[in-house]
Structure 1
Amino acid sequence: MRLPGTMTGTIMKGNHKLFKSICQRTVSFRCLSSNEKPKMPPCDFIPEEYKGIPYEDILNIRKTKLSALLTYYKKPILAHQGHMQWLFDHEGKRYLDLFGGIVTVSVGHCHPKVIEAAKRQIDRLWHTTNIYLHSPIHEYVEKLTSRMPGKLKVAYLVNSGSEANDVAMFMARQYTGNFDIISLRSGYHGANPYSLGMTAHSAYKPGVANGFGCHTTMCPDVFRGIWGGSHCRDSPVQTIRTCSCSPGSCDAKDKYIEQLKETLDTSAAKKLAAFIAEPMMGVGGAIQYPKNFLKEAYEIIRGKGGVCIADEVQTGFGRTGSHYWGFQTHDVMPDIVTMAKGIGNGFPMAAIITTEEIARSFTQAVYFNTFGGNPMASSVGSAVLDAIEEDGLQNNCAVVGTHLLLELAKLREKFEIVGDVRGKGLMVGVEMVKDKKTLQPLPAEEMSLIWEECKDNGVLLGKGGLYSNVFRVKPPMCITKEDADFAVAVLERALIKHKETISR
């Protein structure tokens, strides 16, 4: 099967009935005014009655006993129960979860196959040190590495994406004997003291020493960056900026590559340890690079003695639709791959996968992780891999994601403040601006008006981007076209209401 638009590549065979039902749904929710409320798609799941701590008491505990924890919305949601793409609060209100616990719920909240695996393992063995042999970890790494291309066959199991990127940093430095690491501005790679050096968002910088030897180069953003236009990225929806690229070439890619070379000439040592990049930025706001940027960047880094790290924490496991791993969409082969979030559908686990040669160099000192790959994590991770394949979720990301992107693009044509719609599969960003001429970010208070309105009408969105002006749409990979249409209708209603409010 070949998908519409620019989406091409191998589509994973999945559940035929699921795929057929997705393709046949053509329900369209279109709002004519802010008074018309879109109808939420049906769900036959009935949540249990909430009998926990009273809401006001939870707010007080949050304020006084949980340090520095961010909350979303003026009235924070008290999540009580989840079912696939749906979340239910303590009052029983249902929400379409389009943020998936920050791109973490991959196969669906409380997926029955994952629940079954966790229950089966919890009755057998919760935890033992990995110094002893236990079957789940060996079954899991065999299954996980079988999904990796080339020589990427050796796994290290840890607990979070930040930790995975920390290990990848050490691994690269140990293997190459070099120190300097290059990342992209606006990229996010964790908030641990070492991985924070590769993260290029001031909001996450505490103002104390961290991540020595890390340097950043210009973010190759073809919408907001200096260069780029309407032919530059691998997405069903291109930016509306006029493209200066001549046929068969990408001027934007060449310009951003020159910036990388300048960074290497001025900020880094002659020999490098590594270059790290997300195949598509997550926290940065679903930023996509010009075609072939990563491919050329990898060649340059390797010419400087460095290895290439693909941060697949948000893009992996079929989310981009056309491929299982985000780096495959760029036709590159990294030396180290880090992954987390969707790997466990919410269970705290992560992994680093590399080549045997690099892994061997990492044995010069003992590296041990107490909880990484414990029996529970391994069993859950294995069930997630099975669910992705059996439910046809990579297919679903391609089909529903393309549909969602094309429908959101209609809002860009209709509203001046919708500056850009971008992404691939179910990794989507909607960048909001004051106007399309200046591209000035939409002010935070206006973003919040739209965001809160969407929540009040049953749709949960994330926010991101360097200026927090990008709505992040990264739902559980099981959402349907009907869900996508509902979400677009809710966002359209919120945009109309915003327009009416601002014009008063």
Structure 2
Amino acid sequence: MNPSRLSRPLSRLPTPPSRGVASVTSPNKASALPSLDASYYQPTPGYNLSKTPQFLEGSFLLTGPPPAEAKVPDLNRRLVAAHSKSQGPNVSIFYKQDGGVVATSGSSCTLSGPDGDFLDCANNVAGVGHSHPRVVAAGVKELSNVQTNGRFLHPGRERYVSKLLATLPDEIDTLYLVNSGSEANDLALRMAKLYAQIKGCQNPEDVICIDAAYHGHVQSIVDISPYKWRQCTDGNRASYHKPHVHIVSVPDAYRGPYRGPDAGPKYAAEVKEIQSLTGGVGTFIHESVMGCGGQIVMPEKYLQESYAAVRERGGLCIADEVQTGFARNGEHFWQFESYGVVPDIVTMGKPMGNGYPIGGVAVRREVAEAFASSGIEYFNTYGGNSVACAIGEAVLDAIEEDGLQENAKTVGQYLKHRMTSLRDKHGEWIGDVRGEGLFQGIEFVEKGGDDIVPHPALCKFVVDGLKQDRIITSRDGPDGNVLKIKPPLTFTDANVDELVGSIDKWLGLAAAVYHK
């Protein structure tokens, strides 16, 4: 390849033809309609995607207003205008500059609204599928019974807690119920610091986190989420890096500083070095697969060696399973199980309630006892309320009775097979296909000699094209060049074929012009 092409803008890329807006009475997918202007898809030269305000607008970046051909329904326009007027300017909406997606109903892997049906390949909140009848029935029934303060006993809560703990390793036998993943991670940090202090850790307040990690939105968690700092544009990025937070490299075995099958121990050496230099850090927290970091799967031995180094000096290890838990891995119920480790604390949320607010912190009993030793009561008004527990139990029952873990495994294997074949076909641009079960990603790059250069513009082009084909995806990673695929666990082989076929189409259109 000519190296000069590595910095060449995609100004000649074809533009996905707009499918138009399906009417309320006819929501089916339409045939191709007039094309959008090519400038709509051009990246602004020179900026880092992850450092711009536009990055907050959702799954793709636009450099200007939609062209006239991209007709935005009146309802979408009114809702975007109302949102912009009444809610914070940095409260993001998917596809905002394209009019957003109005979702008023859903079923399984389909999101529906006035502008038609979309195949949902991005919504890991609805883990067992949109509007699952068992989940809906459980919530409606319990909501008609009682909703009250968490200090009252309820048999449904104890039944749910027992079922949930049964999915975890025996060593993790105590559960705290909260309302979200952010709240779960905040509570986990509180517990870890006190535990480390009791264990004599030299720096119990200190935390090791991974660069580009995202663990939530409350202040204590933003402090350990470098992904959020990257979005800072006010010149104060350094102020977000607190002295007690130690950052290690993203353990990216494909494009990071250490690559290949032996990368894990080399990345773990950074954790060991921090432990050595500081005398011991109280907490090591990690996502079991880094979602916002670009669907990064932990390399072999990385967690095993990192865990050992942290525990050796009185610290403990938190596995953030907010995105990856609840059978998404397919082979295992929890993603951390695939690495052969048992964390001290596991945090969970998102699919736990299939869209209803509920989160959890599962811990070893000794961690719970250390947390209680301060004498300070822990109480949560809504955490563990009867409706949340009824819905959470229905989610667990749906996973088991509908065979959704096995489905995630078999369909995930088919997805990996189809995407690997796509990489073989478009090897110049698809650098890596990674992930497990129904939590996978495609990294778009531009290869030139020994160089592997991230290709965010092509990734954006594909995401835009998928949306025109009425398929919802998202992109992420520090360079905005990773297509994320995390659909409900009800995803089918036919859904895989539709998704991969559309990706193949847009890559083919790009190649047809790019290689002229």
Question: Could you report, residue by residue, the CA deviation over 1:71-120 in whole angstroms, capped at 9, with x for unpaired residues?
Answer: 222231111211011111213x21110001xx211000000100010111
Of 472, 476, 480, 2:488 maps to: 476
Contact 2:16–2:468 (CA under 8 A) maintained in structure 1 = no
Does the 8 Å CA contact 1:191/1:204 hold for their aligned counterparts?
A: no
Query: Residue by residue, what CA displacement relative to the aligned partner does 1:241-285 show, whole Å, maximum 9, x if unpaired?
Result: xxxxxxxxx3x223222222223334xx31321111112111111
Map residues 315-354 of structure 1 onto 2, 5 A cutoff. Answer: 315-354=324-363
Corresponding residue for residue 193 of structure 1: 219
Opposite residue 178 of structure 2, the aligned amino acid is V
Aligned ranges for residues 233-312 of structure 1 at < 5 Å?
Answer: 250=262, 252-266=263-277, 269-312=278-321
The match for 2:367 is: 358
For the 8 Å contact 2:310–2:316, the answer to whether it is kept is yes
Contact 1:34–1:494 (CA under 8 A) maintained in structure 2: no
Matched, 1:82 2:94: no
Q: Is the 8 A contact 2:77 2:99 kept in 1?
A: no
Q: Is the 8 A contact 1:97 1:459 kept in 2?
A: yes
Q: Percent identity?
A: 34
For residues 241 and 178 of structure 2, the distance between their equivalents in structure 1, rounded to whole angstroms, comes to 21
What is the correspondence of 1:401-440 to structure 2 with a 5 Å cutoff? Answer: 401-415=412-426, 416-435=428-447, 437-440=450-453
Which amino acid counterpart does residue 183 of structure 1 have in structure 2? C
Whether contact under 8 Å (1:197, 1:212) holds in the other structure is no
Q: How does 1:123-162 map to 2 (within 5 A)?
A: 123-125=144-146, 127-162=147-182
- Residue number in structure 1 paired with 2:87: 66
| In 2, Cα distance between equivalents of 1:262 and 1:307 | 16
- 2:235 corresponds to 1:226: no
Q: Distance in 1 between matches of 2:149 and 2:231?
A: 33
CA distance in 1, matches of 2:386, 2:398: 18
Q: In the aligned structure 1, how far is the partner of 2:112 from the partner of 2:405? A: 26
Secondary structure (helix, strand or coil) at the match of 2:250 reads coil
The one of 396, 401, 409 aligned to 1:398: 409
Q: Distance in 2 between matches of 1:79 and 1:211?
A: 39
How much does 1:37 deviate?
12
Q: Secondary structure at the residue paired with 1:453?
A: helix
SS of the residue corresponding to residue 434 of structure 1 reads: strand
Match of 1:376 among 387, 400, 406: 387
Judged with a 3 Å threshold, the aligned counterparts in structure 2 of structure 1 residues 264 and 477 are, in CA distance, closer, same or farther, namely same
- In structure 2, distance between residues paired with 1:120 and 1:212: 49
Is contact 1:160–1:348 with CA below 8 Å preserved after alignment? yes
Equivalent position amino acid for 2:110 in 1: W
User: How far does residue 421 in structure 1 lie from its aligned partner after superposition?
Assistant: 0.6
Q: CA deviation at 1:121?
A: 0.7
For structure 1, list consecutive stretches of 5 or more residues without a partner in the other structure: 1-32, 39-44, 233-249
Cα distance, 1:473 vs structure 2: 0.1
Secondary structure of 1:173's partner? helix
Task: Say if 1:299 and 1:35 are closer, same or farther in 2 by CA, change over 3 A.
Answer: closer
The 1:35/1:343 distance shift into structure 2, 3 A limit, reads closer
Quote the RMSD (CA, aligned, Å): 2.4
Specify the alignment match of 2:207 in structure 1.
181
Q: Is the CA contact (8 Å cut-off) linking 1:154 and 1:355 kept in structure 2?
A: yes
Rounded Cα–Cα distance in structure 2 between residues aligned with 1:439 and 1:172: 39
Give the Cα separation in 1 of the matches to 2:302 and 2:315. 17
Aligned to 2:121: 98
- TM-score of the superposed pair, with normalisation by structure 2: 0.80
**Correspondence for 2:454:** 441
Give the Å deviation of 1:53.
Answer: 9.2
* Equivalent in the alignment of 2:78: 57
The offset of 1:142, in angstroms, is: 1.4
Give the 3 Å change call, closer, same or farther, for CA 34–60 of structure 1 in structure 2: closer
SS of 2:432's equivalent in the other structure is strand
State the alpha-carbon separation in 2 of the partners of residues 62 and 36 from structure 1.
Answer: 28
* Closer/same/farther in 2, CA of residues 466 and 366 from structure 1, 3 Å limit: same
How far is the alpha carbon of 1:209 from its aligned partner?
5.0
Residues in 2 aligned to 1:421 and 1:173: alpha-carbon distance in whole angstroms = 37
Find the aligned partners of 2:266 and 2:370 in 1 and give their Cα distance.
36
Aligned 1:460-475 pairs, distance under 5 A: 460-475=472-487
**Offset, 1:220:** 1.4
How far, CA to CA, are the matches of 2:289 and 2:225 in structure 1? 14
Find the counterpart in structure 2 of residue 167 from structure 1.
Answer: 187
Partner of residue 216, structure 1: 247
Q: CA deviation at 1:357?
A: 1.4
Matched residue SS, 1:194? helix
Alpha-carbon offset, residue 134 of structure 1: 2.1
Structure 2: runs of 5+ lacking an equivalent: 1-13, 20-25, 29-72, 198-203
Contact 1:193 1:210 in 2 (8 A): no
Does the aligned pair in 1 maintain the 2:76–2:100 contact within 8 Å?
A: no
Q: Counterpart of 1:440 in 2: which secondary structure?
A: strand
Offset at 1:472? Answer: 0.4
Confirm or deny: 8 A CA contact 2:128 2:399 kept in the other structure.
yes
- How far the C-alpha of 1:213 sits from its partner, in A, is 1.6
* C-alpha displacement of 1:56: 2.5
Offset of residue 310 of structure 1: 0.8
The equivalent position to 2:323 in structure 1, one of 314, 318, 328, is 314
Equivalence for 1:456:
468
Following superposition, the deviation at residue 35 of structure 1 comes to: 9.9
| Count of residues in Structure 1 that have an aligned counterpart in Structure 2 | 435
- The residue type paired with residue 306 of structure 2 is A
Shift in Å, 1:200: 2.1
Whether the aligned pair in 1 keeps the contact of 2:265 and 2:305 (CA below 8 Å) is no
Q: Distance in 1 between the 2:122 and 2:456 partners?
A: 21
Per the normalisation by structure 1, the TM-score is 0.82
